[in-house]
Amino acid sequence: MNPTPQLPHSAVVTDWGRTDYSEAFERQKQLVEQRKNGTAPDTLVFTEHNPVYTLGLRKGADAHLIWDKQACARHGIRVVRSNRGGDITYHGPGQIVGYPIISLERRRDLHAYLRDLESVVINTLAHFGLTADRRIGKTGIWMGERKLCAIGVAVRSWITYHGFALNVCPDMRHFAGIVPCGITDGSVSSMARELAEPIDMEAVKECLAVEFQKIFANTSKIHE
């Protein structure tokens, strides 16, 4: 098998704006193929999804959906299955979703990639005065027992997709319809709730892009 074609070690950061989850998933798959074929560079995608509960591959994720179809419909929330790792989670406006479509061909270490991705978010939160960290035995980024960022990734031919979902200022009431990420000994929170003040979404995206550049040693540039 031929190795994944390598491009100059640079990345593009692009913002898709508001998207439906299913639409974004198809666009991710297209980018994965383009990256695999060497026709696209490493890319960090930002988006905000229309309200949706996504079910990951973890066994028992279905049991963590609390609201029935009628309740979800009343709140305007779709339910879809995903091939990412992890349990059930919520995506919606006010949450920054980051999808790194990058090649791990040079370093085939998914564990290291996840630690790097976590560091991007931890360092970003620190810029806003929030001291967050990993939690032993749990995925995502936490402040104590409060989860601010969910992480669930997938890899195809050593090209990454899916990624992280950082709660900046989403409608926290929508988390009541699920057991978020299967958490039974903690809760979810947001940057706005922790700081008790409005948060500039664009400022958070800019900071995430800079930290991504630093940690993955890429030259990033924003493309609308």
- Give the catalytic positions in this structure: 181
Query: Measuring CA to CA, which residue among 90, 89, 93, 105 is closest to residue 37?
Result: 105
Q: What are the φ/ψ torsions at residue 110 (nearest 5 degrees)?
A: -65, -35
For 23, the token pair is 């639409």
Is the distance from CB of 57 to CB of 84 less than 8 angstroms? Answer: yes
Stated length of the chain: 224
Q: Pull the structure tokens for residue 4.
A: 């994944």
Q: Are 202 and 224 in contact (CB under 8 A)?
A: no
Amino acid at 162: H
Distance CA 158, CA 96 (A): 24
Q: For residues 118, 124, 129 and 135, what is the CA-based torsion angle, rounded to 10 degrees?
A: 0
Bridge-based pairing of strands 159-167 and 146-156 is antiparallel
Can you list the pairs that 61-64 forms with residues at least 24 positions away whose Cβ atoms lie under 8 Å? Answer: 61/86, 61/87, 61/88, 61/182, 62/88, 64/88, 64/178, 64/179, 64/180, 64/182
